Structure 1
Amino acid sequence: MPKIFQMLFGAAALTLVATTPTSPATAARADPDAELQRLLEGRAAGKPIDCISLPNVTGNTIVTGRAVVYRIGTRLYVNVPPEGAKQLNRDDIIVTRTFGSNLCRGDIIRLLDRTSTIPHGFVALGQFVPYTKPRSD
């Protein structure tokens, strides 16, 4: 391909990327606080607890650089690690090793890269803050 066409195609692609609007979901993921706020919208915080029942967890979401959100039924439990939260990446795989059926404050979660499955860090968990939707009477 002639050099002039390569330059034109490159410039056109760059313009397309530079002018593509960012979706609100993408923008929320770029801002950890906004993503956490979006996940917890319409929910009220409860009293922090030290442990959750691991067999009852139906899913989790990593908020990059900020927290891990665990789902049990309709309740969300937010865990902000006291240290090391910067290692959290939304595409990581979480590996837990517990000595019982509970996941507790102080337990270590290992972080694996989703593509290579190579471990790249770990964090110790903090307290779990439950968030529930208010009852509609």
Structure 2
Amino acid sequence: MIKRLALSAAAFGLLAAPAVQAEEPAEQPAEMTKGEKRLAKMLEGRVAGEPERCIRTIPSRSLVQIDDTALVYRAGKTIWVNYTKTPDAIDDFDYLVIRKFSASQLCRTDQVETYSRAGHFFSGVIFLDDFVPYRLPDAEG
């Protein structure tokens, strides 16, 4: 009987004790791709703002493609980045055909198709997401 009580107490103690888990090694961050490095260099020293559905594109400037990463639009001191829902469809060997629903804005609902520069063949579709503004922080003082 005493032996049974001792075993019950020991079992109860195991249930009440916090579980000890072996520490898993920290996951190493993945190496940045060539496109991610290029974008990081463009955004160096800048701070991300609130994403917006549309950006003003007047006066017209070119949209820069960064392979497998993002589309970038520079307007004054702001760099707008659209990481897209399909970054793997971005290839700077392709050109973009954009069907905009507004003459003065580029919006996440606009249609973007890609075509090969060599043969002008349809090569894919890019699904836009919100545009993230990156600006230099205000100077303190």
Question: Do the structures match in fold with TM over 0.5?
Answer: yes
Match of 2:96 in 1: 94
Count of aligned positions: 108
CA RMSD in angstroms comes to 1.9
Stretches of 4+ aligned residues off by more than 4 angstroms: none
TM-score, normalised by the number of residues in structure 2 = 0.68
Q: Helix, strand or coil: the match of 2:81?
A: strand
Stretch moving more, 108-117 or 45-54:
108-117
Cα distance between partner residues in 2 of 1:107 and 1:100: 9
Q: Answer with 43-52 or 107-116: which moved more.
A: 107-116
Contact preservation (8 Å) 2:101, 2:110: no
Could you tell me how far apart the structure 2 residues matched to 1:41 and 1:90 are?
22
* Structure with the bigger percentage of helix: 1
Task: Provide structure 1 residue ranges, at least 5 long, that are not aligned to the other structure.
Answer: 1-27
Q: How do residues 21-40 of structure 1 correspond to structure 2 at under 5 angstroms?
A: 31-40=34-43
Give the TM-score normalised by structure 1: 0.70
Alpha-carbon distance in structure 1 between the residues aligned to 2:132 and 2:92: 19
**In structure 2, C-alpha distance between the alignment counterparts of 1:31 and 1:60, rounded to whole Å:** 18
2:118 counterpart of 1:115 = yes
Tell me which residue corresponds to 1:24: none
For 1:100 and 1:120, how far apart are their aligned partners in 2?
25
Q: Displacement of 1:91 after TM fit? A: 2.6
- Secondary structure of 2:58's counterpart equals helix
* Equivalent residue letter for 1:98: K
Which of structures 1 and 2 has the bigger CA Rg?
Answer: 2
Q: Identity, % of aligned pairs?
A: 31
User: Hey, what's the Cα distance between the residues in 2 that align with 1:127 and 1:99?
Assistant: 16
Q: 1:75 aligned to 69, 74, 78, which one?
A: 78
